[in-house]
Amino acid sequence: MATHSALEFVTPLTLGALAEAPVHTELMSLTQEREMGHIRLAREADLVVVAPITAHTLARLANGLADDLLTAMLLARRGPTLLAPAMNAGMWENPATQRNVAQVVADGYLLAGPTSGALACGESGVGRMAEPLDILEAARRALSDKPLAGRRILITAGPTREAVDPVRYVSNHSSGRMGFAIAQAALRLGAEAELVHGPVSLPPVLGAQMTAVTCAEKMQAACLALWPRCDAAVMTAAVADFRPESAPTSKIKKQPGQERMTLELTRNPDILAAVCAARRPGQVVMGFAAETDDLLANAQAKLARKGCDLLAANDVSDTRIGFGSERNRITLLAPGAEPQAWPEMDKETLAEKLLLALAQRWDAA
């Protein structure tokens, strides 16, 4: 379906060819309206996505107008509808627009964006349409069951960086993909997501509360501040076990003839153990163990040492499922239960399965 304004940018022929479907444009179509086309379109779709939606169309929706095919269809619709606003930053921030947004949300419409960035007018600010993949993810959330509705989940992701000096640091190869996939899955399953992450090169998770940190001490502080209002924690971050004992404020220079340098390291805080120790009744903690050998023995020892409810162990020596890969294979452990060896799968699918396993702990409580 395309509005008259949309057809100023792209023709119905082009849209139809790309969609491999007819393009509906007219409310008073002689062919469609003999069958009450706007009613049929409203009822047939599992989900309607309006992308982009302008300030003008938002205003019409907020006031219940039905003066073209799109607004008539939306007024007749009873199922979920996702709106992806796009406009100039000043228009988005205008009190009238904000009143209209509040009204459509109160009426049950779902929003994806807008985000901040470069705008078509040449300015920069909030008003940019959400990226297509983010709109797709919002659509998936709208159509998903919500077994985690009402829950808030704390998730850690990525590596930590421990400063050697202002230029260098100690870190690891974690990409953060697993933790970001879990945050996406948590939102899709109806939960709120608190995502505390180290330095990563991944786009933000739309809808998650993002907290960016650098080192282990800051990650622990952020986690312990958020933990009291969460129902569960999924600790995927690869936290450095040690950090340099001191980090000078100036770059360390190599000296003439120097062949070696000794770096004194000190123990970092154990974030998973700290979260487990601060757990209250009803809270569930899932840890992760990235191992290179003796996977099961090392994971079982970690489960007992940390005191978590569940532990997902994976073999990072396998490059197909190690750091930075899009797939993973884990063995899930729980106190007093037989380890469950899961098959290899993409991290998106794995994230949902892990959260559903976590939800079973609540159901059993």
Q: Residue 1: inside a domain, yes or no?
A: no
Binding residues, by number, are 241, 251, 269-272, 288, 302, 306
Per-residue pLDDT, 23: 73
Binding residues for CTP, by number, are 241, 251, 269-272, 288, 302, 306
Last residue of a domain, one of 108, 125, 143: 143
Per-residue pLDDT, 291: 80
> Do 121 and 73 lie in a common domain?
yes
> Do 233 and 125 lie in a common domain?
no
Per-residue pLDDT, 35: 55
> Do 232 and 357 lie in a common domain?
yes
The CATH number of whichever domain residue 122 belongs to comes to 3.40.50.1950
Q: Is 121 a catalytic residue?
A: yes
> Do 304 and 340 lie in a common domain?
yes
User: How many domains does the structure of the chain reveal?
Assistant: 2
Per-residue pLDDT, 214: 93
Q: Which member of 121, 215, 223, 276 is catalytic?
A: 121
Task: Domain of residue 167: give its range.
Answer: 152-364
Per-residue pLDDT, 32: 52
> Do 129 and 38 lie in a common domain?
yes
Amino acid at 46: D
Per-residue pLDDT, 325: 80
**Tens-level pLDDT at each residue, the chain (365 residues):** 777 787 777 777 777 777 777 777 676 655 554 555 566 776 777 888 888 899 999 999 999 888 888 888 888 888 888 999 998 888 899 999 999 999 999 988 999 889 888 788 788 888 888 888 889 888 888 887 888 989 999 999 999 999 998 988 989 888 999 999 999 999 999 999 999 999 999 988 888 999 999 999 999 999 999 999 999 999 999 999 899 988 888 888 888 888 888 888 999 999 999 999 999 998 999 998 888 888 888 888 888 898 899 999 888 877 777 777 888 888 999 998 898 999 989 998 999 999 999 988 876 65
> Do 330 and 216 lie in a common domain?
yes
> Do 18 and 100 lie in a common domain?
yes
The CATH number of whichever domain residue 239 belongs to comes to 3.40.50.10300
Per-residue pLDDT, 74: 85
Per-residue pLDDT, 237: 93
Last residue of a domain, one of 101, 123, 143: 143
